[in-house]
C-alpha cells in the first residue's frame, strides 16, 4: 500500500513552488510527520512532512518547479511496489483511511476521490504540523470554519500562531469538521486540533485526475458547497492582519464586505469597517454625556482584556533577558544630514528611474555601518560561552514595526551590496513583515541591528540590544537646529544617533570611535562610494 505526497496549498496567489532540498533520500525509511523535503515559493520557505511511516520513493528532483497538487513522492508501506501505487486512487486521504480499496486492481483511474468516504464512517485527525526546528508549540488564534460545517479538501479551516509567524491549517480531506481545540489554546506540535468525519453530502464528487488544490473552482461549480460564503470559501474571510484589527475593535467579519481576491477581507477593508462601526457607538453615548448630576463622569469607563500573542510574549522575555544578562551602555552623537539630503534631492528621480526603488536614508546608514564594522569588528561580534565570535561579514538586521509586533528581518552580506541593492532588499523584507510572511530564516542570524524610531517622531532613545548581537544603532527624527560651523551659527537638519552596546566585549574607545566613523561617512557620503 502506498501514499502519494503532493504539494500542499500554501496561499491564494501561489500556483507553483520549487523543490529546494530533499531532507531524506530515495529508499530511506521515514516516520509519520517527519520532515522529508523543503519547498520554496516566491513568498516563503516551508517544510514537507511524511503523512505516514514507510519507505520513501522520490518522484521529483531538487530544483524542479512543481504546481500545487503535483506528486512529489510516494511512501510505501511494508515493501509495497510502485505497481501497487499506480493502482491506488489519486486522493491520498482515501488511501490512508481505506487501505482495502486502495489495493483493489479493479478501481478505475478516473474514479471520484470522495467516493470511498460517502458512507460517513471514516474519520481523519488533523494535527498541528511541524513549523520549524525551534518551535515546540503554537496557539490556535482563530477558527475559520465552525464546528459541524462541511469543508473541502485543502480548504483553510483555522489559523495557528507561533512566536515567529502565523500560518493556516488546511483540511486534508472533504467532510464534516468536528473541532477539538478552542480558540486561544496552546497546542504542542503533533497535537490533534480537530477531526474530519466522513464525506460532505453537499459537496459534488471531484474526479481524481482534477488538479489538486483548486478548491475555489470546485466551490464555484457547486454553490451549495458554501451557502453562507458566496462564490468561494475565501469570501468574507479576513486576512490575518484584518482579523486582528476586527477582533481588537469588536467588529463582526460577517458584516464586512471584502475587496481582496475572491472576496477576502483585506486590512484596508478592516480599517474602513472599524471607522464605520464606531460612528453609531459615539452617537449612542452622546445622551450619557449630559447627566442630570454634574458629578457623574463623562465617557465610557470599561476595560478591555486581550491575551498576549506568542510573538509579544517572546519579545518581552528576550528584552528582559538582555537587560539582565548584558552590561548594556549607550553612547550618543549627532550627525548633520544636509549632505545626504542634498544628494537625495539631486539624484532621487534618476535613481528611481534606473533602479525601480526610492533612495531612502536607511541605505546610507546601512552602508556606513558596514564600513565602520570593518574598522571596529568587535562591535559586530558576539559572546558564545567563554568565546568571542567575530564575523568577517555584515548581516544587518533592520527593525520593522509589523501588525503583530516588532520583527527584525536580516539583510545578508550587506557589506558587498550597493545602495540600490540595499534599498531593494529593505523594500522586500519590510513588505513581508507587514503581511506577516517573513520566514524564520529571514529573521535570524544578524550581526548588527539598526532601528529607526525617527519615523514615529522620536528625538532620542536608548535602544535595547538584539541578542545575541552586541550592539544596536538607533536613528531618530531630523530636526532643524542652530549649530556652529566655522565660527558661524547656521541652521542645519540634525539627527541624534544612539549606539547601545555590550560593555563586556566592546570598550568605550571602540564604541565611540565606531559611532564617530558612522557620523563621518554620513556627513561626507562620497566616502561611502569611494571606500575611504
Residue 110's pLDDT is: 44
What average pLDDT does the segment 221-227 reach?
40
Cell numbers of 387, please? Answer: 568565546
Active site residues: 503, 507
Inform me whether the pLDDT recorded for 205 exceeds 50.
no
Closest CA to 89 of 218, 208, 172, 213: 208
In this predicted model, what pLDDT tens digit does every residue of 454-478 receive, in sequence order? Answer: 888 888 999 999 989 999 999 999 9
Which CATH number applies to 236-286: 3.40.50.140, 4.10.320.10, 3.40.50.300, 3.30.1220.10? 4.10.320.10
Q: What is the pLDDT of residue 431?
A: 87
pLDDT at 512: 96
Average pLDDT over residues 186-214: 64
Mean pLDDT of 503-511: 93
205-209, Cβ contacts within 8 angstroms, sequence gap of 24 or more: 205/112, 205/113, 205/114, 205/115, 206/112, 206/113, 206/114, 206/153, 206/174, 207/110, 207/112, 207/113, 208/89, 208/90, 208/91, 208/109, 208/110, 208/111, 208/112, 208/113, 209/90, 209/109, 209/110
Question: What pLDDT, in 10s, does the model give residues 91-148?
Answer: 443 334 444 343 444 444 444 444 444 444 578 899 988 876 667 888 888 899 989 8
For residues 200-217, average pLDDT: 41
Residues 430 and 358: beta-carbon distance below 8 Å: no
- Residue 86 pLDDT: 42
Whether the per-residue pLDDT at 217 is higher than 50: the answer is: no
Distance (Å, whole) CA 117 – CA 471: 59
The size of the chain, in residues, is 532
Instruction: Supply the pLDDT for residue 190.
Output: 87
Q: What is the pLDDT of residue 478?
A: 94
pLDDT attached to residue 172: 87
CA 332 – CA 64 distance, rounded (Å): 51
* CATH architecture observed for domain 1-87: Beta Barrel (2.40)
How is the chain split into domains, by residue range?
A: 1-87, 111-223, 236-286, 311-530
Single pTM value for the model: 0.49
Residue 208 has pLDDT above 50, yes or no: no
pLDDT of residue 55 exceeding 70:
yes
What does R_g of the chain's alpha carbons equal in angstroms? 28
- 412-439: average pLDDT: 90
Q: What is the pLDDT of residue 304?
A: 86
Region of residue 317 (phi > 0: left; psi between -120 and 50: alpha; otherwise: beta): alpha
pLDDT of amino acid 206:
43
How far apart, in whole angstroms, are the C-alpha atoms of residue 170 and residue 520? 54
pLDDT category, 532, cuts 50, 70, 90?
A: low
How does residue 274 score in pLDDT terms, banded at 50, 70 and 90? low
Instruction: Flag whether pLDDT at 379 surpasses 90.
Output: yes
Predicted pLDDT at 43: 59
Please indicate whether the domains covering 1-87 and 111-223 agree at the CATH topology level: yes
pLDDT of amino acid 378: 94
Mean pLDDT for 157-167 is 81
pLDDT value, residue 398: 92
Q: Across the strands, what pairs with 361?
A: none
Q: Of 264, 200, 197, which Cα lies nearest the Cα of 229?
A: 264
The set of cell numbers assigned to 9 is 496549498
CATH number assigned to the domain with residue range 111-223, chosen from the 4 options 2.40.50.100, 2.40.50.140, 3.40.980.10, 3.90.1150.10 = 2.40.50.100
- Residues with Cβ within 8 Å of 449's Cβ and at least 6 positions away in sequence, in order, are 396, 397, 398, 399, 408, 463, 465, 466, 469, 471, 472, 473
In this prediction, residue 164 has a pLDDT band, given cuts at 50, 70 and 90, of low
pLDDT higher than 70, residue 85: no
β partners of residue 76: 2, 55
What CATH class is the domain 311-530? Answer: alpha beta
Amino acid at each position: 500500500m502506498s501514499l502519494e505526497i503532493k504539494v500542499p496549498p500554501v496561499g491564494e496567489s501561489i500556483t507553483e513552488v520549487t523543490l529546494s532540498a530533499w531532507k531524506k533520500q530515495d529508499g530511506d525509511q521515514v516516520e509519520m510527520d517527519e520532515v522529508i523535503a523543503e519547498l520554496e515559493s516566491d513568498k516563503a520557505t516551508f517544510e514537507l512532512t511524511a503523512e505516514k511511516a514507510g519507505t520513501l520513493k522520490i518522484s521529483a528532483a531538487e530544483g524542479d518547479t512543481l504546481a500545487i497538487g503535483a506528486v512529489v513522492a510516494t511512501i510505501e508501506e511494508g515493501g509495497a511496489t510502485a505497481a501497487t501505487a499506480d493502482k491506488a486512487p489519486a486522493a491520498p486521504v482515501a488511501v490512508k483511511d481505506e487501505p482495502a480499496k486502495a489495493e483493489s486492481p479493479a478501481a478505475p483511474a478516473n474514479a471520484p476521490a470522495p467516493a470511498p468516504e460517502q458512507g460517513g464512517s471514516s474519520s481523519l485527525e488533523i494535527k498541528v504540523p511541524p513549523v520549524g526546528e525551534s518551535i515546540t508549540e503554537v496557539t490556535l488564534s482563530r477558527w475559520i470554519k465552525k464546528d459541524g460545517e462541511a469543508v473541502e479538501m485543502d480548504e483553510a479551516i483555522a489559523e495557528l500562531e507561533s512566536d515567529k509567524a502565523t500560518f493556516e491549517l488546511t483540511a486534508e480531506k472533504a467532510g464534516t469538521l468536528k473541532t477539538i481545540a478552542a480558540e486561544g489554546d496552546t497546542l504542542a506540535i503533533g497535537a490533534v486540533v480537530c477531526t474530519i468525519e466522513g464525506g460532505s453530502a453537499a459537496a459534488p464528487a471531484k474526479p481524481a485526475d482534477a488538479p489538486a488544490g483548486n478548491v475555489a473552482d470546485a466551490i464555484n461549480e457547486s454553490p451549495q458547497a458554501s451557502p453562507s460564503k458566496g462564490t468561494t470559501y475565501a469570501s468574507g474571510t479576513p486576512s490575518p492582519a484584518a482579523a486582528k484589527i476586527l477582533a481588537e475593535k469588536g467588529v463582526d467579519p460577517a458584516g464586512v464586505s471584502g475587496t481582496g481576491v475572491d472576496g477576502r477581507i483585506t486590512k484596508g477593508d478592516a480599517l474602513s469597517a472599524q471607522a464605520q462601526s464606531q460612528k453609531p457607538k459615539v452617537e449612542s453615548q452622546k445622551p450619557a454625556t449630559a447627566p442630570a448630576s454634574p458629578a457623574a463622569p463623562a465617557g465610557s469607563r470599561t476595560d478591555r482584556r486581550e491575551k498576549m500573542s506568542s510573538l509579544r510574549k517572546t519579545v518581552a522575555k528576550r528584552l528582559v533577558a538582555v537587560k539582565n544578562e548584558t552590561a548594556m551602555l549607550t553612547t550618543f552623537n549627532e550627525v548633520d544630514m544636509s549632505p545626504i539630503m542634498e544628494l537625495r534631492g539631486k539624484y532621487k528621480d534618476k535613481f528611481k528611474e534606473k533602479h525601480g526603488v526610492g533612495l531612502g536614508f536607511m541605505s546610507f546608514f546601512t552602508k556606513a555601518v558596514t564600513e565602520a564594522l570593518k574598522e571596529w569588528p568587535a562591535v559586530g561580534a558576539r559572546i558564545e560561552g567563554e568565546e568571542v565570535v567575530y564575523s568577517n561579514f555584515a548581516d544587518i538586521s533592520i527593525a520593522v514595526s509589523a501588525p503583530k509586533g516588532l520583527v527584525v528581518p536580516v539583510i545578508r552580506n550587506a557589506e558587498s551590496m550597493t545602495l540600490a541593492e540595499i534599498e531593494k532588499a529593505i523594500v522586500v523584507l519590510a513588505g513581508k513583515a507587514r503581511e506577516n510572511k517573513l520566514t524564520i530564516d529571514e529573521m535570524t542570524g544578524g550581526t548588527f541591528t539598526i532601528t529607526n524610531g525617527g519615523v514615529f517622531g522620536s528625538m532620542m532613545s536608548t535602544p535595547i540590544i538584539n541578542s545575541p548581537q552586541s550592539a544596536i544603532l538607533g536613528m531618530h527624527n531630523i530636526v532643524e537646529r542652530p549649530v556652529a560651523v566655522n565660527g558661524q551659527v547656521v541652521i542645519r537638519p540634525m539627527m541624534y544617533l544612539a549606539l547601545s552596546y555590550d560593555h563586556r566585549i566592546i570598550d568605550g574607545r571602540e564604541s565611540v570611535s565606531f559611532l564617530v566613523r558612522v557620523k563621518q561617512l554620513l556627513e561626507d557620503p562620497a566616502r561611502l562610494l569611494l571606500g575611504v
